[in-house]
């Protein structure tokens, strides 16, 4: 019989821990039963576990027979105190101690062997339950080795060596010496079945795993027309699963939950939707608070479910709603922004002239404003005939560049259409009608068949609709609309300044293009771009001068003349063209990328 020293327990440590088990035998080996509690392996948070150490027939230093430790799963396990038993050596614990806190509450029982007996050391049994004895002597009956149990593995036999070349099934009576046995294990592969209900899985979701597989974070499958609502353990969708944690040991079936997508259609009537308004939702989508769209010249008056805006406005789509939804944007037009120019007397070009009050737009008509009125090919005019429809200057809004490449006749068509749209009395009459729908195609040359009808256009200056300014109104507004002003008291060469770059886009600073209206300095009335950007068409026929008989009231130019007046200069003009005093003679049929217009309304 081999004599063992008191420290023999330390010689049988695996990875720094004692990994031995015990079986009660007639030779005096003692073991107690093991108690374990459960923990969930799929998709749960890391819990705390409690480990109980039972000294069996021994005791800890304070005389207690049990010791309790608590820690989080996966933390390093360190047993600071070992029990003692007179006449016995502690050879390990059953089950064998792991390096880290296990996933379940576990009770470990001390395994004792009499001093002087041979030990049996079991290697590779970390996490396994082993009911084989921890020792023997020469008189011990032949020991038939039992298979240990380790979750997630199949036992492949006991071997004398770590290379698994010599298998051992028993320890024959009469054997002597300490024995080391190596457990051989084979991983068990578990299947993962995905119930997709018509969906398509992603390759990142594996079809199998084993106990050593790193935690699997489940990915979302896809299904046309649906939003994925999660993986579940059951077809009733009561227990959701987001991951398969390392150490799980079972075949798994996962059920895909699908939420039908419903579309949200926004009828915007040329408005622009807010990006926060979604295009779809499902029954579990959080309540959607609808945002306001925008439309130049209008205020938003609510979303409605009906095209005629009956019923209550819709402000939200509450969670739990189902079905496709169409929402109609209701708009209320903002009255056209204008500046009132008070009437009075002044001297223009050496002649005293009396003006009635009128309203004038602070800006040249923009491309956005033109498009909002000119639907289709109204009177043969493109919705946006402009040449400068792309590549705006840095910081400029494309839609807010002035409309250009419009003829004088195109401009009066726009004026009447806008007046009709806003319920105002149109100013211009052609072919006996104020409705442009009855006028035919806007002429592009003097030789068209009905040109005489267009050339004979008349203007009702008492109507409250939109029109082009007279040349005198334009110059009066460009000079600041100051009653009593005379030629000699007018200090500024350009509208609002003697420094052209302050108030105008012209040849030297325009970079050969138009610019967003209102970017330069305004004049005294708050009018922008009266100098530069685009030439602005006026009502007047072009005569040899802009002079009028002294005492003229509301002059509207000569009665004859084949061309019309343009004022203010343009992006491609020289400084002299941008002077308030400069006049140009424009073909009323011509469409030029340097010509646009500005609106006025009578305030008589």
Task: Kindly list the domain boundaries of the chain, sorted by start residue.
Answer: 8-187, 190-260, 266-333, 339-602
Going by pLDDT thresholds of 50, 70 and 90, the confidence category of residue 459 is very high
On the question of pLDDT at 13 being above 50, the answer is no
Least confident of 12-16, 450-454, 471-475: 12-16
On the question of pLDDT at 16 being above 60, the answer is no
Q: Give the chain's largest Cα–Cα span.
A: 145
Going by pLDDT thresholds of 50, 70 and 90, the confidence category of residue 336 is low
How much is the pLDDT for 485? 64
What φ, ψ does residue 2 adopt, rounded to 5°?
-85, 130
On the question of pLDDT at 547 being above 70, the answer is no
Q: Which of 248, 240, 181, 171 is nearest to 208 (CA)?
A: 248
On the question of pLDDT at 17 being above 60, the answer is no
More confidently predicted of 342 and 32: 342
On the question of pLDDT at 25 being above 80, the answer is no
Share of the chain above pLDDT 70, in %: 89
User: What is the CATH code for 339-602?
Assistant: 3.90.1580.10
The overall average pLDDT reported for the chain is 88
On the question of pLDDT at 486 being above 70, the answer is no
* Alpha-carbon gap, residue 496 to 504, rounded angstroms: 10
Going by pLDDT thresholds of 50, 70 and 90, the confidence category of residue 322 is very high
Q: Are 521 and 478 in contact (CB under 8 A)?
A: no
CATH 2.60.40.4270 fits 190-260, yes or no: yes
Q: Are 365 and 403 in contact (CB under 8 A)?
A: yes
Q: Model pTM?
A: 0.51
Going by pLDDT thresholds of 50, 70 and 90, the confidence category of residue 460 is very high
Share of the chain above pLDDT 90, in %: 73
How much is the pLDDT for 115? 79
For residues 239-266, average pLDDT:
96
On the question of pLDDT at 7 being above 50, the answer is no
On the question of pLDDT at 35 being above 50, the answer is no
Strand partners, 121: 180
- Tokens found for residue 530: 């009266």
CB atoms within 10 A of CB 602: 20
């Amino acid at each position: 019989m081999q004599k063992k020293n008191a420290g023999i327990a330390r010689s049988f440590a695996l990875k720094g821990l004692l990994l031995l088990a015990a079986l009660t035998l007639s030779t005096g080996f003692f073991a107690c039963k093991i108690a374990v509690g459960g923990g969930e392996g799929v998709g749960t948070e890391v819990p705390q576990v409690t480990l109980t150490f039972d000294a069996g027939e021994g005791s800890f230093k304070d005389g207690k027979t049990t010791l309790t430790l608590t820690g989080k799963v996966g933390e390093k396990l360190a047993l600071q105190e070992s029990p003692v038993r007179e006449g016995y050596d502690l050879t390990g614990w059953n089950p064998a101690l792991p390096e880290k806190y296990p996933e379940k509450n576990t009770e470990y029982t001390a395994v004792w062997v009499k001093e002087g007996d041979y030990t049996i050391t079991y290697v590779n049994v970390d996490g396994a339950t082993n009911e084989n004895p921890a020792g023997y002597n020469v008189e011990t009956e032949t020991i038939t080795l039992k298979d240990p149990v380790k979750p997630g593995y199949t036992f492949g036999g006991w071997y004398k060596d770590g290379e698994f070349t010599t298998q051992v099934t028993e320890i024959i009576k009469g054997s002597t010496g300490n024995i080391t046995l190596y457990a051989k294990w084979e991983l068990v592969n578990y299947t993962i079945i995905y119930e997709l209900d018509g969906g398509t899985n992603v390759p990142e979701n594996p079809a199998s795993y084993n106990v050593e597989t790193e935690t699997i974070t489940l990915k979302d499958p896809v299904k046309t027309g649906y939003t994925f609502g999660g993986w579940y353990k059951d077809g009733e969708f009561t227990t959701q699963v987001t991951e398969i944690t390392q150490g799980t040991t079972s075949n798994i079936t996962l059920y895909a939950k699908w939420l039908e997508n419903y579309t949200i259609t926004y009828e915007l009537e040329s408005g622009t939707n807010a990006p926060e308004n979604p295009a779809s939702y499902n029954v579990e989508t959080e309540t959607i608070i609808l945002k306001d769209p925008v439309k130049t010249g209008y205020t938003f008056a609510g979303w409605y479910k009906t095209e005629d805006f009956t019923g209550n406005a819709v402000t939200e789509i509450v969670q739990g709603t189902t079905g496709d939804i169409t929402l109609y944007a209701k708009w209320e037009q903002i009255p056209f922004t204008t500046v009132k120019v008070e009437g009075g007397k002044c001297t223009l070009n050496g002649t005293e002239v009396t003006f009635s009050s009128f309203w004038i737009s602070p800006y040249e008509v923009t491309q956005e404003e033109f498009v909002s009125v000119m639907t289709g090919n109204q009177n043969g005019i493109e919705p946006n005939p402009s040449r400068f429809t792309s590549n705006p200057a840095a910081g400029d809004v494309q839609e807010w560049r002035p409309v250009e490449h419009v003829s004088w006749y195109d401009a009066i068509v726009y004026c009447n259409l806008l007046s009709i749209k806003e319920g105002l009395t149109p100013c211009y009459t052609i072919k006996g009608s104020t409705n442009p729908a009855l006028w035919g195609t806007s002429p592009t040359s003097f030789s068209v068949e009905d040109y005489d009808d267009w050339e004979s256009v008349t203007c009702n200056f008492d109507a409250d609709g939109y029109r082009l300014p007279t040349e005198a109104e334009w110059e009066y507004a460009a000079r600041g609309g100051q009653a009593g002003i005379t030629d000699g008291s007018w200090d500024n060469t350009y509208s609002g300044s003697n420094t052209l770059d302050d108030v105008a886009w012209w040849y030297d600073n325009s970079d050969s293009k138009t610019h967003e209206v209102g970017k330069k300095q305004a004049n005294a009335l708050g009018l922008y771009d009266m100098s530069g950007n685009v030439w602005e068409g006026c009502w007047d026929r072009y005569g040899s001068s802009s002079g009028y008989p002294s005492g003229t009231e509301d002059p509207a130019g000569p009665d004859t003349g084949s061309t019309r007046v343009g004022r203010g200069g343009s992006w491609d003009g020289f400084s002299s063209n941008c002077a308030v005093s400069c006049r140009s003679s424009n073909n009323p049929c011509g469409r030029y990328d340097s010509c646009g217009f500005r609106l006025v309304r009578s305030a008589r």
